[in-house]
Amino acid sequence: MNQAALVFGAIFGFLAIIFGAFGAHLLKKKLSSEQLQGFETGVKYQMYHAILLLVLGFQFNAIETIDVYIIYAIIIGTILFSFSIYGLVISSANNKTLKFLGPITPLGGLFLVFGWGMLIWKFLFNF
């Protein structure tokens, strides 16, 4: 069992529900449909990776290095990807776009790709 994966998975799931409700109820009136769709993308990716972390947390141990790398790549990727989207959407709705967040979103996506890639590697070569 990997405690970091379980804790972050639970936190990400908890926050995805809150942010999803926030977007559906409070931001719906403030955001354009394109902005709302972007916000929902952040929430979906956050929830998908929350579930993945919970599954991995019960399956992985903290002994194998690749397990630790996979989990931290997913955690870092989710934070960078989803939370930068939230910041971009909310700031643009207030006409104060935080442009420095723009390059952070693809960096988060890259961490997620690395996490999934290492997971594939583990399944192919470590079992």
Q: What is the pLDDT of residues 103-112, one digit of tens each?
A: 999 999 999 9
What is the residue type of 61? Answer: N
How many structural domains are present in the chain? 1
**What is the residue range of 47's domain?**
3-125
CATH number assigned to the domain comprising residue 38? 1.20.120
Prediction pTM value: 0.92
Neighbours of 100 (CB within 10 A): 10
3-state helix/strand/coil string of 74-100: HHHHHHHHHHHHHHHHHHHHCCCCCHH
Q: pLDDT, tens digit, for every residue of 13-69?
A: 999 999 999 888 888 888 888 999 999 999 999 999 999 999 999 998 878 899 999
